[in-house]
Amino acid sequence: MDDLRELYHRANQYREPAFLERPYLGSPGAPAQDETNISKTWMHLNGGFLMGYEYTRWWQESRALRTTAVLGDWSWLNKVRITGPNAEDFLDRISVKSVRRQEVGQTLFTPMLSEHGKIAIEGLALKLGDDDYLFTQSGAQFWLPRQAEQLGIDVQLEDQTPDWTCYALQGPHSLQVLEAVTGEAFADMRFSRWRRIELFGTEVIVQRQGVTGEVGYEFFMRTDTGRAHELWRRIREVGREFGLRELGFKAQLIGHTESNMPTIIRDFLPDRFPREKLSRFARLWVTEEELAAVDYDLADQLVTPAEVGWGYTVDLDHEFVGRDALRAEADAGGPRRLWRGLLWNADDIGELFAAQFRDAPAPPPPDLPWGQFRLQFQRVRRDDEQVGWASAATYSPNLRRMISNARVDRELPIGTAVTVDWGFPGYPTWRLRATVVEQPFIAQHRRDDLTAAAAGRVGTAGE
């Protein structure tokens, strides 16, 4: 059998026919995941990796995120190593956030822009050493080399996606699970910091991150020893005592909407393609029928950091690609639209479902949860006037409501009553009532100080 790196490279030959020259492959945790993926359904998203779709029931998994803990697999995220004497200069030049003061052992959120000031890619940059970084996000293996070439910066870039796992342990009990698995104390680890340990005789980077808004950690384990599935199984077994559930892809993105995490495709399109090719990229995430019915310019879904609530990441005092456009936006008073949440009217959602059991034509019901990585932007209106776009709509088992993200006119105050156009080609369109609310929907714990809870939480690591 080919090794994982060879399979990965074959799987990423996107112009070759799938299942012939372009295989799909299990993630590094697949042997353990296959034992519990009760859905027997595997989702393909990126890098050739397959992910378990539903381990128990999606609403139970979503609830566990907020009440106990979950274990999810993000190993499909691309990972590019950036090294060489010019590594810091290069990363600083392409990121809206300066990395000049970043320390070894620290992770920075580093959105990157096109020259137009629109988000091209966003991800995390781990500083592994002097002039040594690991950047993680989908599309990084294409975007970073293109930037290096356009800027004329000599830097070493290596796609290491298949070389590392990315297992996410998230939830209120994640610290207890982590300490029980590793036998080490982690309560003093601050948000966006990481350290190296060894498990199963293999190097592991454990970093504190909380993409779901909860206290959380990520495991980057070397895959070359073939023991990554043992780590997944060990976390699952130890986590049972704390109520942990494995998080399948079906429930994975509910947490993004609940916790105010804008996501490419679900909430905006990336500005890393020529505008005439934007529809070709969109076609990957929408049917031909739906794409043909799009009656707006897809470029309307290209956004600046401030439009999705990431204005805080921008350091205008250093030079980076897209800075002039962001300065012009700031001089104009900020973006036209701001990042908000929508709480959809429960009675209208109930009527939408009830209409499915009547003889009269009706819009299709929302799948629960809705969206995943499907391109679906809905018009938001105040009276008859469009005032923004809704995105990433989903049912939240934790809030027991239909919710979505939104970009709405900045003049709209919190509490404004609006409607959302709900419909599909060939179906009626209904206007469902919603209320503009602050983001996030769920209280944030990702940065909580955990030192007070440290006593008595160190368990025993086993191999």
Residues 193-196: contacts with CB under 8 Å, at least 24 apart: 193/105, 193/106, 193/107, 194/105, 194/106, 194/107, 194/126, 195/105
The answer to whether residues 375 and 245 belong to one domain is: no
Identify the weakest region by mean pLDDT among 2-6, 227-231, 278-282, 329-333.
Answer: 2-6
Q: Residue range 103-130: average pLDDT?
A: 97
Q: What angle do CA 436, 344, 428 make, to 5 degrees?
A: 120
The pLDDT-based confidence of 44 (bands split at 50, 70, 90) is confident
How many CB atoms neighbour CB 386 within 10 A? 14
Q: What angle do CA 332, 409, 292 make, to 5 degrees?
A: 110
User: Residue 165 has what pLDDT?
Assistant: 96
CATH of the domain at 31: 3.30.1360.120
Q: Give this prediction's pTM.
A: 0.94
The answer to whether residues 185 and 310 belong to one domain is: no
Q: How many residues does the chain have?
A: 463
The answer to whether residues 301 and 176 belong to one domain is: no
Q: Which two tokens stand for residue 415?
A: 């509490």
Q: Which two tokens stand for residue 349?
A: 């959602």
Does 88 have pLDDT greater than 80?
A: yes
User: Residue 434 has what pLDDT?
Assistant: 98
By the 8 A CB rule, do 342 and 403 touch?
A: yes
The answer to whether residue 159 is domain-embedded is: no
Does 62 have pLDDT greater than 70?
A: yes
The answer to whether residue 56 is domain-embedded is: yes
The pLDDT-based confidence of 359 (bands split at 50, 70, 90) is very high
Of the residues 199, 226, 258, the one at which a domain ends: 258
Question: pLDDT digits over 145-174, tens only?
Answer: 999 999 999 999 999 999 999 999 999 999
The answer to whether residue 265 is domain-embedded is: no
User: Residue 216 has what pLDDT?
Assistant: 97
Q: Is 194 exposed, middle or buried (0-12, 13-18, 19+ CB in 10 A)?
A: buried
User: Residue 455 has what pLDDT?
Assistant: 52
The pLDDT-based confidence of 53 (bands split at 50, 70, 90) is very high
Q: Please name the helix (run of DSSP H) or strand (run of DSSP E) that holds residue 67, with its range, or none.
A: helix 58-67
Of the residues 232, 258, 284, the one at which a domain ends: 258
The answer to whether residue 90 is domain-embedded is: no
Which residues in 410-446 belong to E strands, given as ranges? 417-422, 430-437
Through-space distance between the first and last CA atoms of the chain, rounded to whole angstroms: 26
Q: Residue range 348-370: average pLDDT?
A: 92
Q: How many CA atoms lie within 13 A of 210 on its CB side?
A: 26
The pLDDT-based confidence of 45 (bands split at 50, 70, 90) is confident
Strand order in the sheet with 49-52: 25-26, 49-52, 42-44
Question: pLDDT digits over 177-191, tens only?
Answer: 999 999 999 999 999
The answer to whether residues 240 and 333 belong to one domain is: no
Among candidate residues 296, 297, 316, 298, the one with its CA nearest the CA of residue 306:
316
Q: Looking at residue 65, what DSSP letter applies?
A: H
27: Cβ contacts below 8 Å, ≥ 6 apart: 33, 49, 50, 51, 73, 75, 76, 165
CATH of the domain at 400: 2.40.30.110
Q: Print burial letters for 295-309: b (CB count within 10 Å at least 16), e (below 16).
A: eeebeebbbbbbbbb
The total of structural domains in the chain comes to 2
How far is Cα 318 from Cα 443, in angstroms, rounded to an integer?
33
How far is Cα 27 from Cα 33, in angstroms, rounded to an integer?
9
Q: Looking at residue 452, what DSSP letter applies?
A: G
- Torsion angle of the four alpha carbons 255, 261, 262, 267, in this order, in degrees rounded to the nearest 10: 20
The pLDDT-based confidence of 369 (bands split at 50, 70, 90) is confident
Q: Residue range 404-423: average pLDDT?
A: 97
By the 8 A CB rule, do 276 and 102 touch?
A: no
User: Residue 463 has what pLDDT?
Assistant: 40
Q: Residue range 214-226: average pLDDT?
A: 96
Q: What angle do CA 372, 373, 379 make, to 5 degrees?
A: 90
The answer to whether residues 409 and 334 belong to one domain is: yes
Does 367 have pLDDT greater than 90?
A: no
The answer to whether residues 238 and 298 belong to one domain is: no
The answer to whether residue 195 is domain-embedded is: yes
The answer to whether residues 279 and 209 belong to one domain is: no
Domain span at residue 33? 4-75+164-258
The answer to whether residue 191 is domain-embedded is: yes
The answer to whether residues 254 and 280 belong to one domain is: no
Q: Looking at residue 84, what DSSP letter applies?
A: S
How far is Cα 202 from Cα 76, in angstroms, rounded to an integer?
20
Task: Kindly state the greatest CA–CA separation across the chain.
Answer: 69
The answer to whether residue 134 is domain-embedded is: no
The answer to whether residue 39 is domain-embedded is: yes
Q: Residue range 266-285: average pLDDT?
A: 92
The pLDDT-based confidence of 14 (bands split at 50, 70, 90) is confident
Residue type, 100: R
Q: Which two tokens stand for residue 354?
A: 């009830």
208: Cβ contacts below 8 Å, ≥ 6 apart: 186, 189, 190, 191, 192, 193, 194, 215, 216, 217
Question: pLDDT digits over 453-462, tens only?
Answer: 665 444 443 3
The answer to whether residues 400 and 279 belong to one domain is: yes
Among candidate residues 374, 340, 355, the one with its CA nearest the CA of residue 430:
355
The pLDDT-based confidence of 370 (bands split at 50, 70, 90) is low
Average pLDDT, the chain: 94
Q: Residue range 352-370: average pLDDT?
A: 91
The answer to whether residues 279 and 208 belong to one domain is: no
The answer to whether residues 411 and 323 belong to one domain is: yes
Question: pLDDT digits over 302-343, tens only?
Answer: 999 999 999 999 999 999 999 999 999 999 999 999 999 999
User: Residue 368 has what pLDDT?
Assistant: 84
211 Cα distance to chain centroid: 7
Question: pLDDT digits over 193-216, tens only?
Answer: 999 999 999 999 999 998 899 999
How far is Cα 52 from Cα 36, in angstroms, rounded to an integer?
9
Q: Residue range 376-394: average pLDDT?
A: 96
The answer to whether residues 285 and 247 belong to one domain is: no
